């Protein structure tokens, strides 16, 4: 089976987390950001992640894929029920404009696999600059203002539950919390509170996913 993703995509990361945690054998395919044809061929929409199953069928929607991977994976690796992500989801939503202004230009600057062509880079830049209402150069210039807003959000987050507190298991809440935090490690100058940093490191290890800390800009 194949999992089609973008490296920077938080929704894709949900699927990757479960696939890795549950030891699901799969091939990871990084689509170029402007590759609409593959998406439409598989699920008739421009979206990722996409899970292509062994029988040739394909499915979209990150949480649906995560549940399918949970079914297919190691039954001994339990996915815990989630009930504590609301505070994180709401905080991410309130600061979304600042988060995106920090992340979008850095996604290109990090040289991620979905941007390995000029056309893919242009496709992303045009769409995201429209969404931001400013070009990436201006977004980078405004970094201090956006960092201040996101830093205040991070400082106010509750302490997330650690896998070690629950038999080193992953929860459905983690799929809603970790991807945004992981992407924010792209940003040099953000300071993650100790409880948040410990959580990020624990989930990264449990799901065999890498933070961007060493590449932060």
- Strand 58-59 and strand 27-30: pairing? unpaired
* pLDDT tens-digit readout, 49-92: 999 999 999 999 999 999 999 999 999 999 999 888 999 999 99
- Rounded to whole angstroms, the Cα distance separating 175 from 182 reads 11
How large is the average pLDDT for residues 175-189?
98
* pLDDT tens-digit readout, 106-132: 999 999 999 999 999 999 999 999 999
Domains within the chain, CATH numbers bracketed: 2-78 (3.40.30.10), 86-215 (1.20.1050.10)
How large is the average pLDDT for residues 37-53?
98
Neighbouring residues of 144: CB distance < 8 A, sequence distance ≥ 6:
none
Helix (H, G, I), strand (E, B) or coil at 73: coil
Res 64: pLDDT: 98
- Supply the DSSP symbol for 11: H
- Rounded to whole angstroms, the Cα distance separating 207 from 213 reads 17
Res 177: pLDDT: 98
- Supply the DSSP symbol for 48: S
DSSP 110-170: TT-GGG-SHHHHHHHHHHHHHHHTS-HHHHHHTHHHHHHHHHHHHHHPPPPPPGGGGTS-E
State if pTM tops 0.85. Answer: yes
């Amino acid at each position: 089976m194949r999992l089609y993703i973008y490296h920077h995509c938080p929704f894709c990361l949900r699927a990757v987390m479960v696939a890795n945690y549950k030891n699901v054998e799969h091939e990871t395919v990084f689509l170029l950001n402007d590759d609409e044809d593959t998406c439409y061929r598989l699920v008739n929409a421009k979206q990722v992640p996409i899970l292509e199953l062994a029988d040739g069928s394909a499915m979209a929607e990150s949480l649906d894929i995560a549940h399918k991977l949970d079914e297919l994976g190691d039954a001994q690796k339990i996915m815990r029920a989630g009930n504590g992500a609301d505070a994180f989801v709401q905080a991410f939503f309130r600061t979304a404009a600042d988060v995106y202004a920090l992340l979008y230009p850095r996604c290109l600057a990090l040289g991620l696999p979905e941007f390995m062509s000029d056309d893919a880079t242009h496709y992303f830049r045009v769409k995201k600059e429209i969404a931001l209402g400013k070009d990436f150069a201006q977004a980078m210039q405004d970094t201090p203002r956006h960092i201040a807003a996101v830093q205040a959000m991070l400082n106010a987050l509750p302490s997330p539950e650690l896998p070690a507190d629950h038999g080193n298991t992953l929860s459905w809440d983690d799929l809603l919390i970790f991807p945004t935090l992981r992407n924010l490690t792209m940003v040099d100058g953000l300071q993650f509170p100790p409880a948040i940093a410990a959580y990020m490191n624990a989930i990264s290890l449990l799901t065999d996913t890498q933070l961007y800390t060493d590449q932060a800009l």
